[in-house]
Amino acid sequence: MGMTIAEKILARHTDQTVVRPGDLINAKVDMVLGNDITAPTAIKEFRRIGVETVFDKDRIALVPDHFTPNKDIQSAEQAKLLREFAREHDITYYFEVGRMGIEHALLPEMGLALPGEIVIGADSHTCTYGALGALATGVGSTDMAAAMALGEAWFKVPSTLKFVFNGKLNRWVSGKDLILYLIGKIGVDGALYRSMEFCGELIDALSMDSRLSMSNMAIEAGAKCGIIAPDQTTLDYVTERAKRDFTPVYADADAEYEKVTTFDGADIEPQVAFPHLPENTRGISDVGEVRIDQVVIGSCTNGRMEDLRTAASILKGNKVHKDLRVIIIPGTQNIVRQAMKEGLLDIFLEAEAIVSTPTCGPCLGGHMGILAQGERALATTNRNFVGRMGHPGSEVYLSNPAVAAASAITGKISAPEEVL
């Protein structure tokens, strides 16, 4: 019996030739990631361990992105702790404000997460890098501390659910819609501690940006990771960026899956997740009349170039509805520069949206767009839990950038066809 992608990656990072679901293993890691919320705790635990230095200064990335530029004294102290630790241990991949980005947009762009690797991060959306064919997963800050010291982490080998998307993409449908549709079918615990493998004609047709958006939300189904097998699209993306050699990993022909589920692209239109769970999804044609106060286009889910281009194509020549505000948050500094070069920032500003520096910002209720009681936001972010973006009495709806941009014009959740 063969192994799935997740099983093969885990086995190759141990001294074992075969691993099976349920096995408890220690595995070498290729990259350890932390941000300005999670890394300070990891740093304190690292110092308690008593080791003199990190296992490999080239295999750790520290990205202050959640509350930066610092919104208050506490966030400034958190960022300072990262900065000082990075200097103390000569961490190669420490990204200061002005050079940083939202971590899960930045690492793929910088070639720091690669096919066949194990990447762990003290942030739940580390699963984003599964789109590159990596086994990428979130861990706690104490596990991050141990990994910075030892270069290893412990895993319970997950079983794998395979999701096959056949057919063709409908107009305005992206990876964000595929994953929202899937979560709507299986629920927020439908892949609990499983590895999700995404494949099929629709996946093959997705751009790298759209694949990253899809794997990003595997955790919203409770998954350990969400993996797409590397193909030419993947290799074209990573080869020019890779900071290390890499070896793509593919499932064996006789790999055993816990379950295989097939979807037809003809059934999938742009999706909207209603409060207060990502599983509470509806097709855009079933949304009805939902007035909104704020639109956020960005985040580690949808702050990449494809997302900004899509939004700009709809906002061009239009104005933001007079009763709402629109916040555009590019994922990295390079994305800001490319958007500027292509004239997208002018389109956003002419439409009377604002453009932020790269930051997680309002996604986690941090800053740059907090909601008041009774307000509603439509966001291209990944979570819409109670109080996620501000007051517990506010509401967050999730969509792709096309729906978000159209809704910014109409003042209510709308399909792109309503404004084009």
Query: Domain boundary residue among 213, 237, 263?
Result: 263
Q: Are residues 215 and 319 part of one domain?
A: no
Q: Are residues 196 and 103 part of one domain?
A: yes
Residue 268 lies in a domain: no
Burial of 14 (0-12, 13-18, 19+ CB in 10 A): middle
Q: Are residues 355 and 280 part of one domain?
A: yes
pLDDT at 68: 87
Residue 398 lies in a domain: yes
Q: Is 229 helix (H, G, I), strand (E, B) or coil?
A: coil
Residue 255 lies in a domain: yes
Q: Are residues 176 and 37 part of one domain?
A: yes
Which among 256, 335, 262 is positioned nearest to 3, based on CA atoms?
A: 256
For 204, phi then psi, to 5°, come to: -60, -30
Q: Are residues 126 and 33 part of one domain?
A: yes
Compute CA distances 174 → 87, 250, 284, 331, 399, whole Å. 40, 24, 13, 18, 10
Interacting residues of 118 by C-beta distance below 8 A, sequence separation 6+: 9, 10, 13, 27, 28, 29, 30, 31, 134, 135, 136, 153
Which among 24, 405, 43 is positioned nearest to 10, based on CA atoms?
A: 24
Q: Are residues 168 and 255 part of one domain?
A: yes
Q: In angstroms, rounded to a whole number, what is the distance separating the alpha carbons of residues 304 and 64?
A: 18
Compute CA distances 376 → 185, 220, 324, 415, whole Å. 25, 21, 10, 17
Query: Domain boundary residue among 199, 232, 263?
Result: 263
Note down the domain range covering 411. 274-418
Residue 269 lies in a domain: no
Strands 225-228, 118-121: pairing is unpaired
Q: Are residues 321 and 220 part of one domain?
A: no
Q: Are residues 375 and 229 part of one domain?
A: no
Per-residue pLDDT of the chain (420 residues; tens, 9 = 90+): 899 999 999 999 999 999 999 999 999 999 999 999 999 999 999 999 889 899 999 999 999 999 989 889 999 999 999 999 999 999 999 999 888 899 999 999 999 999 999 999 999 999 999 999 999 999 999 999 999 999 999 999 999 999 999 999 999 999 999 999 999 999 999 999 999 999 999 999 999 999 999 999 999 999 999 999 999 999 999 999 999 999 999 999 999 999 999 999 999 999 999 999 999 999 999 999 999 999 999 999 999 999 999 999 999 999 999 999 999 999 999 999 999 999 999 999 999 999 999 999 888 888 889 999 999 999 999 999 989 989 999 999 999 999 999 999 999 999 999 998
Q: In angstroms, rounded to a whole number, what is the distance separating the alpha carbons of residues 302 and 379?
A: 9
Which among 59, 63, 61, 62 is positioned nearest to 30, based on CA atoms?
A: 59
Residue 164 lies in a domain: yes
Query: Domain boundary residue among 207, 241, 263?
Result: 263
Q: Are residues 299 and 248 part of one domain?
A: no
Q: How many CB atoms lie within 10 A of CB 48?
A: 10
Residue 178 lies in a domain: yes
Q: Are residues 325 and 391 part of one domain?
A: yes
pLDDT at 92: 96
pLDDT at 268: 96
Number of domains in the chain: 2
Q: Are residues 287 and 217 part of one domain?
A: no
Q: Is 90 left (phi over 0), alpha (psi -120 to 50) or beta?
A: left
101: CATH:
3.30.499.10
Q: Are residues 353 and 214 part of one domain?
A: no
